[in-house]
Each structure stands twice: as C-alpha cells, then as structure tokens.
Amino acid sequence: MTTTTTTARPVADRARLLAEVANAARIVPPVWPLGQFIAVNPLQGLVDLGFEQATAEARKWLGAATFPSRAHVATAVRSGRITADDVAAALAEHAAAAPDVHDAHDDEVDGVLRALGGDTEADARQLPAMPRTAAERYDARHATSVAATVDERVAAVCAAYAGSGAAWAGPTDRGFWSWWSRGDEPAADGLLDALDRIGLAPGDHADELRGQLSRLPGWAGFARWCDEWAAGDAPVRTISLIDYLAVRMTVEADALEGQPDRPLAPLPRPRREPSYAPSEPAGLGERVTDHALDVIALEAYERNHRMRLLDELSRSWLSTRAANPSAAQVVFCIDTRSEVFRRHLEAVGPYQTIGFAGFFGVPLRFRPAGSDASFASCPVLVTPDVEVTAQPATRALRRKKIAASASAARQQAKAAPGAAFAFAEASGLVEGPLAAARTFLRRRTKSAAGDAIAVLDVDGFGLEARAAIAETALRTMGLTDGFAPLVVLCGHGSTSTANPHFASLDCGACGGNRGGPNARVAATFLNDADVRVELAARGIHIPDTTFFAAAEHDTTLDTVTVFDVAGVPPTHADALKSLLAAVEEAAEATRLERGGRLGVSARDARRPWRRALDWASVRPEWGLAGNAAFIVADRNRTAGADLEGRAFLHSYDRDADAEGTALETILTAPMVVAHWINSQYYFSTVDPDVYGAGDKTLHNPIGAVGVLAGPSGDLRIGLPRQSVFAGDSTYHEPMRLLTVVDAPVDRIESVIARNAILRHLFDGRWVTLVAAPASVGAPWLRRRPGGEWVPA
C-alpha cells in the first residue's frame, strides 16, 4: 500500500482520462459475479468493429486465439465435416468481401483443402504482437519479470478487497483506491501521477491503459462490470475501472522506480501484425495468407452446418399440417435444451409447444421466501423496477432462515483467497460425510404437481402494466387465438452440486436464475379476469375455459414441476394429470438422448440425480454446448425436424405481424442474448485459456466474485473447459450464430434499418442471417453485409 499527496489535477485532464479509460476497457469483457453469471460476447465492447477487426484487436492485445485451431479444422476436413463444396463457397465469399481476390479455380480449392487437412502440429499459444505496458517494455529490454510481479501483487490486492467475507481485507467503505492508498487523493489523480512517473506523454496514455487492462483481463473485466452493470445492491464489493487502474499503475510505477534505464516511451510499433503474414499452402502462392486460411476454414465449417440444417428444415418447413385441437399448450424457454424436451413431448400426444424467452416478458426483482435480498430475474438488457416477494408459511420461513444463515456462514468461511483449502482441512470430518451422502442419496426424478410453499405478492404491478406485459408476451410468441383449455408456462433451471458456475446452467433470460417465479407471475396475470377484459379490448380474447398454469423444467434431471396446484380448477384436473403422464414419458426419452451425448450408459442416463448431486461431478449436464442456430418461426415449420438440441426456437406468427413489431422485439432482445451465449461458447472453445475459465477441478472460488485457477492469479472468465471439451477433443462446435427467420425480406430489412445493434451483428459478420422460403420451390436466402440477399 502507498500514500500519495499531490496537487489536484485540472477537471479537463480528469475528464479526458475517464474517456480514455472507457475506450480502453472495450478490449475486456464485463465479468459477472458467480451468482449472476451470464453468457456474454467477450468482444462485446468491440462489436461495432465487426468480427474481423474485433478479433484482430483481441489477437493484438490479449494474444488470444480467435479461430478454430488448425488441428480441429484438419479433423473436420478428414471426417467430411468440411468438403470441397464448402471450401469453394467460402473462397467465393472471401472474394466477395475482398474484390481484389479473383474467383477460385478447382486446383485452388483442392490446394486449400489440402492445406486445411494436412498434418498439423499442436497450435502454439499466440503472444501479443508487441510489449503492451511499461513493465513489459522494461522486461523486453532487460530480460526481467517486472510485469509478472505487478500482476501477482495487483491480483492479490483485488482478491483481498472484492472477495466478500475476507475479514483481513479491512474497511472497504471508501472504495478500492482509497482503501489501498490510505489517502484522500482522487483515483483519477493517482492514475495521472503514475502515468507521469513512468514517463508517458499524454498521447501514449490510451495504448498504455489498454495494455494494462489486457494484463489481467479477468479482474479488469470485473471492474468493467462494476462500472456498467452493477446495481446499488450488488452482492460483492465493487471495484471501479478508474480505481483498478490507479492501483495497478501505481504498483507498476513503484516497481519501475529506481530501476536502471527505465523505459520512457513505447517501443516502435511493428508495421504488420504477425498473424497476417503470408504463407504458401500448396498451389496458392501469395494469394491466401495464414489469416485468410483461418477465415476460409471458419466460413466453410459454418457453411457445412448451415446447409445440413436447412436441408433438415426443408423437409418440414412447407408441409401442410392439420390444425388439430391441442389437449394443452406448453410454453418453453427458447433455450436449446428445451428443443429436445419439446420434440419428445409432441411425439407423445396432442400437445403443442411454443418457444418464448424464459422470463415470460415479466421484468421483476424476486425476493425468495426467508431472504432479505432480492435479485433481478430478467435479461440483463432490462432494468426491473418492481419487486415480487414470496410470502411463506411461518414454519417454512423459519426453516429457510436457518438454512440460509448456515449457508451464509459456510460461504463466509470460504470467501478469502485460499480459504477454500483451509476450510476443507478444518471441516473435513463434517463436510466429507455430508458430501458422500449427497453423492449416494437416491432421489426421485419423476415430474410432479406440487404446491409452491410461498404465495407471490405481485401488487407492485398495476392493471395497465399487467395487461401490457400479457399482451406483449402473447403477441410476441404468436399466441393470440386458438387457446387450449390448459396452457402451461414452463420456466427452467438446473440442479448441480459444488459448481461455482451453477448460474451458467440456469435461465439466461432470467439473469442466470431459475425461471419458476417469472412463470408463476405471468400465469397470475393471464388468469386475472380484469387483465382478460383489457386484453379483449386490445383484440386478444382468452376463453373463460382456458387456464394458465406455471411450471419449471429442471434441465439436468429433466423433470417438470407444476406450481400452485391448489389453484387449478377441478375442470382442468384431468387435463393436468394427463399432461404430467405425457411429460414423464417425454422426460424418459429426453434423459436417454441427453445421456447419449454425455457418453453415459442408458442405466445412468435414467438416473440423472447421480450427476446432479455428485459434488465431484465436473459435468452434470452439457448446458448449451453445441448451440448453433436461432430459429424464428411458427412451431409447425420445425416440428418435423430433429434439431439435436442445438437450436434456440422462438415462436413467431409471420401473418399476424405485418408491421414487424414482434419480429423487432425478438431480434433485438432474445436473439442478441442468443448471440452472447453463442459467442461465449465459441471463444471459450477456440481459446479456453484466455476466454475460458480453464479446468474446473482447479477452481478456487473467491467469495461471490469468481474463480481463480488455484490459490492466486487472475479472475477466470468464460466457461470451464469441461463445458465445451470432452477430454482433449472439442465437444462444442465453434461457429458463429446462424439466425433463420420466417418473414419477408423487406420486413426483415426494415427492422435492421431501425436498429444499430442488428446492423453491427449482421453487417459485421457476427451472425449469419437466413430468410425462409415463402413458397414451395423458393430458395432459402442469405443476407450478405450491406443488405444483399443471395441463395443460402
């Protein structure tokens, strides 16, 4: 720690510095705390640059791999996952993006295919193109390790401060910089002082700050989350970016002070980024560079999947199906895991399934029974202003408070850096038998109807708000008529044990929480007689004979629990009983399908509780691994297709949305979230060291903040290796999201024109967009950047 006293800086200097810090921070992703962990595009701050330029920045500043490894590509070529047709199409696309490149000939296609499928040594870790910080420049000149020493000291300080429950961290009411420096100087002034001490001119500040943030992207990303996303009641001690950089740069200035031949200026920049240097695959000469081969390989890989998916969809897309009455309609989350369950449920009986974002359009903060804290249960793009409280029975409340207090005490004991190891030593005699009991405990995995123990207080929503939420949800999912007697809103969550990243398996649409509370609130609204009167005035008539029930699907156990059964009218009891029997039959088939993907026996697949309750299980389920497509269409379009649990399915009625209002909502909200999920899985796969959380068996949780790999170091970001790899092989196929929309091209283009985020995603090649054929014989159309539509 240090104490500094200097003259206050001019306001203009501080303002300029804050702008430079905000711009520099675009290179690191915001890192959510564990309990609120959600998927996010690690390059979200650079999304406006487009995929090509954004990934170039990631290679330059973070030394990150941004394309599938050559070994992965070679395997794909040898297995036929990438074909000559795919390469030819990718080369043509490359030529369209770079007009100076002529169309490929057959010998060139063969040359690229040989280059991609040839013997490949293990991919070497890529290093940043140049020293990024003052300490790195000093190390480059003197063969020292000052930068690593600075990292070690800063990471330890961050963990001490942010790890909630670390009693030895000391008072934290003044903020990170003030706590560390023990002074009253503003953090901006401390950062400017450190930049001056290192000898950097103002014109060099921006690159220096970006380099400093790139050294520990995990802690820097956590600071970015604190600045941009943390609410006032954040469950962790927050560190602002300006505080983080003030501490880091002061540590670095102290480390360099007094060193001989200090670096006073950055080294000259290289004229060309090494990853773009040309190479000569057989028969290609200078035409295709190493980097271009990566681009072509990814394009070919994606094209192969796209054509196979569209071929599968074509068999069911335009087929005519009788609109038979449904015994019940079940609204699932668009989550890829729901696709498997929906397919099997539809095969059992006359049940219609619908896809909609799992928060069911209800933005709320939820306070569970027995808890003093609430959390946002909605997409992070939405800010809820109504709190829904669960009101339990007195005895249940007492049990919950006792359990919550015990859990809090245990978490407090394990919060500090390294404390998890000490806790295991101290409590092993107690915790060991409990863990063993959890492992071998037999638990029923049958879907059931059961009363929730708590009543939800939804009085914070007025009648107008309830009606508006109900209307928006129904119109967006395309359910405005043809209501079945029983409609079930089915949220989802996941069961796992000793899993710091548990929130990554819950509902992303609910901010990394379980979706049951949202389903219960939405069902309450839709059963409200006054809300139905308002909906009728808006053109949506829900029959008096229709009842909405709420449920939750556990994606590890593949059970479905229906809530508030006491409120189900006797007239609907038989329909619910029949549905639950069908759900259990579908669940059994789903467990077997998921078990096959996990590589377990049929016997073990039927007992998913063994994985869910096993404290040593590194993979209770695959989560959203394998996700590849986002499909916006009526379920009739896709019901005949086996989408292998790889597609987000959002229901949409193209005939009821002439103005594109519902489509705009779908593309700018759930599709953006799907892109975030897809991108996090992509980058966690192509570089599990930089953008992934590494091997989860080495994880050391730091309170509620995040995990370290071992007792110290940077906060790990992204997904654990076990979420995307099966042993040494990739399980998740790293591809950018494919979005398929059943709507006229002109409607799609009008929505894109109104939304900059969609132009960034589609024109920047983050997401591939395909429009469905409107009639038999019409082609699938793919959108190129700029709005040109060509055959898919």
Give residue 713's pLDDT band: very low, low, confident or very high (50, 70, 90).
very high
SS3 492: strand
Closest by CA to 526, choosing from 559, 477, 492, is: 477
Mean pLDDT of 475-490: 97
Mean pLDDT of 217-230: 96
pLDDT in tens, 140-192: 999 999 999 999 999 999 999 998 544 344 445 679 999 999 988 999 999 99
Give residue 615's pLDDT band: very low, low, confident or very high (50, 70, 90).
confident
Number of H helices, E strands in the chain: 27, 20
d(CA 715, CA 679): 19
Q: Does residue 666 contact residue 650 with C-beta atoms inside 8 Å?
A: yes
Mean pLDDT of 486-490: 98
d(CA 649, CA 352): 14
d(CA 615, CA 397): 27
Closest by CA to 273, choosing from 548, 63, 504, is: 63
Domain boundary among 619, 635, 651: 619
Give me the pLDDT at residue 275, please. 37
Give me the pLDDT at residue 651, please. 98
d(CA 204, CA 189): 17
Give me the pLDDT at residue 16, please. 94
Closest by CA to 418, choosing from 730, 707, 45, is: 707
Looking at the structure, do residues 421 and 568 belong to the same domain, yes or no?
yes
Copy the structure tokens of residue 425. Answer: 């030593």
Pairing relationship of beta strands 547-554 and 559-562 according to DSSP bridges: antiparallel
Looking at the structure, do residues 15 and 140 belong to the same domain, yes or no?
yes
Mean pLDDT of 496-523: 95
Looking at the structure, do residues 180 and 200 belong to the same domain, yes or no?
yes
Q: Does residue 642 contact residue 312 with C-beta atoms inside 8 Å?
A: yes
Dihedral (CA of 336, 337, 341, 344) sign = positive
- On whether residue 596 sits in a domain, the answer given is yes
Q: Which contiguous run of DSSP H or E holds residue 146? A: helix 146-162
Q: What are phi and psi for residue 62, nearest 5 degrees?
A: -110, -10
d(CA 381, CA 402): 34
Give me the pLDDT at residue 444, please. 55
Residue 123 has pLDDT above 80, yes or no: no
Copy the structure tokens of residue 591. Answer: 């467990």
d(CA 255, CA 151): 11
- On whether residue 338 sits in a domain, the answer given is yes
Burial (Cβ within 10 Å: 0-12, 13-18, ≥19) of residue 394: exposed
Greater confidence (704 vs 419) lies with 704
* Partners of 791 in the β-ladder: 781
Give me the pLDDT at residue 204, please. 93
**What amino acid occupies position 125?**
R
Which range of residues forms the domain containing residue 303? 70-122+278-310
SS3 694: strand
Pairing relationship of beta strands 647-650 and 547-554 according to DSSP bridges: unpaired
* 439-to-404, 427, 605 alpha-carbon distances in Å: 22, 18, 16
Pairing relationship of beta strands 454-457 and 387-392 according to DSSP bridges: antiparallel
Closest by CA to 445, choosing from 325, 331, 590, 577, is: 590
| Token pair 């029949």 in the structure block, residue | 578
Residues in Cβ contact with 792 at an 8 Å cutoff, skipping those fewer than 6 apart? 306, 307, 310, 770, 779, 780, 781, 782
| Token pair 């990394």 in the structure block, residue | 512
Domain boundary among 585, 619, 653: 619
pLDDT in tens, 319-353: 766 566 799 999 999 999 999 999 999 999 999 99
Greater confidence (752 vs 6) lies with 752
| Token pair 């920045």 in the structure block, residue | 57
Neighbours of 268 (CB within 10 A): 7
d(CA 566, CA 614): 33
pLDDT in tens, 50-70: 999 999 999 999 999 999 999
- On whether residue 702 sits in a domain, the answer given is no
Q: Does residue 453 contact residue 322 with C-beta atoms inside 8 Å?
A: no
Give me the pLDDT at residue 659, please. 95
Q: Does residue 117 contact residue 74 with C-beta atoms inside 8 Å?
A: yes
Question: What is the 3-class SS of 353-402, one letter each residue?
Answer: EEECCCCCCCCEEEECCCCCCCEEECCCCCCCCCEEEEEECHHHHHHHHH
Greater confidence (291 vs 420) lies with 291
Burial (Cβ within 10 Å: 0-12, 13-18, ≥19) of residue 418: middle
Alpha helices (H) along 98-145: 106-117, 134-142
d(CA 433, CA 140): 52
Torsion of CA 108, 112, 117, 121, to 10 degrees: 130
The angle, 0 to 180 degrees and rounded to 10, between the axes of the packed helices 146-162 and 205-215 is 70
SS3 240: coil
For the chain, the residue count is: 792
Q: Does residue 157 contact residue 180 with C-beta atoms inside 8 Å?
A: yes
Looking at the structure, do residues 176 and 298 belong to the same domain, yes or no?
no
Least confident stretch, 3-7, 178-182, 217-221, 715-719: 3-7
Q: What is the mean pLDDT of the chain?
A: 87
Looking at the structure, do residues 118 and 133 belong to the same domain, yes or no?
no
SS3 622: coil
- On whether residue 689 sits in a domain, the answer given is no
Looking at the structure, do residues 155 and 221 belong to the same domain, yes or no?
yes
Give me the pLDDT at residue 280, please. 39
**What amino acid occupies position 24?**
A
- On whether residue 783 sits in a domain, the answer given is no
d(CA 276, CA 111): 19
Q: Distance between terminal CA atoms of the chain? A: 60
SS3 content of the chain, % helix, strand, coil (to 5): 50, 10, 40
* 750-to-242, 356, 475, 654 alpha-carbon distances in Å: 40, 23, 19, 14
* 690-to-38, 126, 379 alpha-carbon distances in Å: 17, 11, 26
Looking at the structure, do residues 578 and 485 belong to the same domain, yes or no?
yes
Looking at the structure, do residues 171 and 244 belong to the same domain, yes or no?
yes
Give me the pLDDT at residue 654, please. 95
d(CA 481, CA 353): 15
Angle at 418 between CA 403 and CA 498, to 5 degrees: 40
Give residue 381's pLDDT band: very low, low, confident or very high (50, 70, 90).
confident
- On whether residue 704 sits in a domain, the answer given is no
d(CA 705, CA 238): 9
Residue 475 has pLDDT above 90, yes or no: yes
- On whether residue 676 sits in a domain, the answer given is no
Copy the structure tokens of residue 104. Answer: 């490929």
Residue 449 has pLDDT above 70, yes or no: yes
pLDDT in tens, 18-38: 999 999 999 999 999 998 888
Give me the pLDDT at residue 276, please. 32
Q: Does residue 113 contact residue 77 with C-beta atoms inside 8 Å?
A: yes
d(CA 63, CA 40): 20
Looking at the structure, do residues 149 and 86 belong to the same domain, yes or no?
no
Give residue 392's pLDDT band: very low, low, confident or very high (50, 70, 90).
confident
pLDDT in tens, 654-707: 999 999 999 999 999 999 999 999 999 999 999 999 999 999 999 999 988 999
Q: What does DSSP assign to residue 9?
A: P
What's the total number of domains in the chain? 3
Alpha helices (H) along 645-731: 661-668, 670-686
Q: What are phi and psi for residue 387, nearest 5 degrees?
A: -105, 130
d(CA 72, CA 66): 13
Looking at the structure, do residues 155 and 286 belong to the same domain, yes or no?
no
Give me the pLDDT at residue 236, please. 86
- On whether residue 583 sits in a domain, the answer given is yes
Looking at the structure, do residues 375 and 446 belong to the same domain, yes or no?
yes
* 227-to-24, 236, 458 alpha-carbon distances in Å: 14, 13, 31
Pairing relationship of beta strands 767-771 and 781-784 according to DSSP bridges: antiparallel
Looking at the structure, do residues 141 and 197 belong to the same domain, yes or no?
yes
* 332-to-550, 586, 625, 717 alpha-carbon distances in Å: 11, 14, 19, 29
Give me the pLDDT at residue 452, please. 63
Mean pLDDT of 539-563: 97
pLDDT in tens, 353-376: 999 999 999 999 999 988 888 999
Q: What are phi and psi for residue 459, nearest 5 degrees?
A: -65, -15
d(CA 570, CA 577): 11
Residue 755 has pLDDT above 90, yes or no: yes
Give me the pLDDT at residue 703, please. 86
Give me the pLDDT at residue 202, please. 92
Rg (CA), the chain: 27
